[in-house]
Amino acid sequence: MNYEELLAFAGRNPMLSMALVGLTVAIIVTEVRRLFRGYTSLKPAELTQLMNAGNALVVDLSSSSDFEKGHIAGSRNAQPSQFGPEHKLVANAKQRPVVLVCRTGNASETAAKALKKAGFEQVNVLEGGIPSWQQADLPLVKGRN
């Protein structure tokens, strides 16, 4: 396909052309935002590797009842409404890898932005939250810890 054919197609199909331009812009904006958000999204396998390295702090921002029903082994529970850079779980962890986990991803992303803004160096979020952990057939433990 040459340039003239492409222009002719765009002239015959203005709605498709506009949709293509709109989707392209949306993808570019999304990727640029991802680059500059300051924290990293981890897949379950990446979180497992980080935990096996031994120094990751995993904070589960689920409700207490959801945490007790099932959480990642070694994770600590904190309520999103009470969690922030000064919280006792993370107050002394500015140089450690901190991984935030929740059920939907919303609470984790909000908390990750706050930690990054407060100067935490290695802030991560489990992509897809606990459901993605379960889809990867990784175990959850029940109870408080």
Q: Write out pLDDT tens, residues 118-131.
A: 999 899 999 999 99
Could you give the number of structural domains in the chain? Answer: 2
Tell me which residue range forms the domain holding 106. 39-135
Sign for the CA dihedral angle at 89, 141, 74, 131 comes to negative
Q: If pLDDT is split at 50, 70 and 90, which confidence band does 55 have?
A: confident
- 60 and 103 part of one domain: yes
CA angle 89, 87, 118 (to 5 degrees): 110
- 112 and 126 part of one domain: yes
pLDDT of 145 over the 70 cut? no
Q: If pLDDT is split at 50, 70 and 90, which confidence band does 53 have?
A: confident
Separation of alpha carbons 92 and 98, rounded Å: 11
Separation of alpha carbons 10 and 125, rounded Å: 41
Q: What is the pLDDT of residues 28-46, one digit of tens each?
A: 998 887 677 778 899 999 9
- 26 and 73 part of one domain: no
CATH assignment at residue 124? 3.40.250.10
pLDDT of 23 over the 80 cut? yes
142 belongs to a structural domain: no
- 67 and 24 part of one domain: no
- 20 and 82 part of one domain: no
Q: What is the pLDDT of residues 62-109, one digit of tens each?
A: 999 999 999 999 999 999 888 988 989 888 888 899 999 999 878 898
pTM value > 0.85 = no
Pairing of strands 40-42, 122-126: parallel
100 belongs to a structural domain: yes
What does the pLDDT average to over 9-18?
92
